[in-house]
């Protein structure tokens, strides 16, 4: 379970995903990281400078403002649109039980309608 | 085969995908839903209020208008761009022969250059 | 290894991915094409008219300009944002050792901060 702290937030979940892989017997295969929420997403991006995360959030809010004449009464259509654009799952190659990520890559849970309590599902197939 | 009815349309294909899984012997694995068209896509988003779908379409048309000085003579570059942004395939975890989706999630075929007859390919690996 | 030639470029890597599949013993399964860079991506789109690629690049540069008050000192936040929107991996169904792509589909490496030397990782699970 992930507790998000803001309406828009990108949270590094790389270590949590790696821990799930270690619980399985699969050494070589594909790891699927799946967000079961329709106002969240999963992305893979830079894990070094936190400014990259704040720039992503800033630009997405500019492109897709919170209010813009949407019909959906819940008032979070912007979050649903961002969810579809970022995608609700990502796949990572697993070798010898280890996630194969580039040097600067981390796996992020994307919150677009927080703060909320969120879940992420991890599955590894060999 | 899916028959789309408008230039832009999001069509819930969740039941069709679930039916394909039941035809296989795979109980636990990953389901890949793949759009073989370059002006369509697959997305996972809210299955409750249809206003979410119309808001997604409205905003995407505002961000990426049909005509905007594109070179491609066929006149549907906007649809190709939307296809790359939404992504032409999605992956869903399968457990005990059942798609694992969040409470409010449905799987949608995204038509960006209809109306047309479209295909969706479903594969399950265990 | 892929050598890109411009800041923004979409390079058809379909033949290289197909060659990687032929090296494996997997006949039926899923191929994952993974970009280990945070300013690149993988997309599947039209392989016929190169104008589609230049239209995609033109529109993305208009929507997400190179400079727009970003904080990230490296000056390439636009590339990180495009990477998350296009997605850093794609999945393709494999049957009888062959990639299952639609008639007009090719697999593209997306360069958003080139020119650089880039890698693409390919994995096939059955």
> pLDDT for A37-68, tens place per residue?
999 999 999 999 999 999 999 999 999 999 99
Distance CA B62, CA B81 (A): 13
> pLDDT for B57-98, tens place per residue?
999 999 999 999 999 999 999 999 999 999 999 999 999 999
Distance CA A55, CA B57 (A): 25
Which residues of B are less than 8 Å from C33 in CB distance? none
Buried b (16+ CB within 10 A) or exposed e, B37-46: bbbbbbbbbb
Mean pLDDT of C61-79: 96
Cβ distance of B52 and A72 shorter than 8 Å: yes
H-run or E-run covering B105:
strand B105-111
- DSSP letter at C73 equals T
0.90 surpassed by pTM: yes
Q: Where are the beta strands (DSSP E) in chain C?
A: 2-3, 9-12, 29-34, 40-46, 89-95, 98-99, 105-111, 117-118, 121-125
Distance CA B35, CA C65 (A): 30
C contact chains, 3+ CB pairs < 8 A:
A, B
Which residue in chain B is spatially nearest to A36 when comparing CA positions? B102
> pLDDT for B10-31, tens place per residue?
999 999 999 999 999 999 999 9
Q: Which CATH class is domain A2-125?
A: mainly beta
The answer to whether residues C122 and C36 touch, using CB atoms and an 8 Å cutoff, is no
Mean pLDDT of C89-112: 98
Cβ distance of B29 and A71 shorter than 8 Å: no
What value does the mean pLDDT of chain C take?
97
- SS3 percent helix, strand, coil of chain A, rounded to 5, is 25, 35, 40
Distance CA C52, CA C106 (A): 12
Cβ distance of C88 and A86 shorter than 8 Å: no
Has residue A11 got a pLDDT over 90? yes
The answer to whether residues A71 and B54 touch, using CB atoms and an 8 Å cutoff, is yes
Cβ distance of B86 and A85 shorter than 8 Å: yes
Has residue A126 got a pLDDT over 90? no
CA-angle at B104, arms to B103 and B110, nearest 5°: 135
Nearest alpha-carbon partner for C34 in A17, A69, A30, B27: A30
Mean pLDDT of C70-94: 97
pLDDT tier for residue C126 given thresholds of 50, 70 and 90: confident
Nearest alpha-carbon partner for C10 in C123, C110, C86: C110
- DSSP letter at A70 equals -
Mean pLDDT of C16-41: 97
Has residue B126 got a pLDDT over 90? no
Calculate what percentage of chain A has a pLDDT beyond 90.
Answer: 99
Map tokens 């389901």 to a residue.
Answer: B31
B contact chains, 3+ CB pairs < 8 A:
A, C
C-alpha distance from residue B17 to each of B87, B99, B108, B119, C96 (Å):
17, 9, 10, 12, 22
Calculate what percentage of chain A has a pLDDT beyond 70.
Answer: 100
Could you tell me the residue ranges of all domains in chain C? Answer: 2-125
Has residue A78 got a pLDDT over 90? yes
The answer to whether residues B118 and B34 touch, using CB atoms and an 8 Å cutoff, is no
């Amino acid at each position: 379970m992930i507790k998000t702290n803001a309406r828009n937030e990108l949270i590094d979940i790389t270590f949590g995903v790696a821990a799930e892989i270690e619980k399985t017997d699969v050494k070589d295969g594909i790891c699927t990281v799946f967000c079961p929420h329709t106002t969240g997403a999963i992305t893979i991006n830079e894990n070094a400078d936190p400014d990259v995360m704040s720039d992503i959030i800033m630009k997405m809010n500019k492109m897709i403002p919170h209010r813009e004449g949407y019909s959906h009464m819940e008032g979070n259509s912007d979050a649903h649109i961002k969810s579809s654009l970022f995608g609700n799952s990502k796949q990572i190659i697993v070798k010898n039980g280890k996630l194969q990520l580039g040097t600067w890559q981390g796996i992020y849970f994307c919150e677009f309608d927080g703060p909320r309590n969120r879940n992420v599902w991890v599955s590894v197939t060999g």
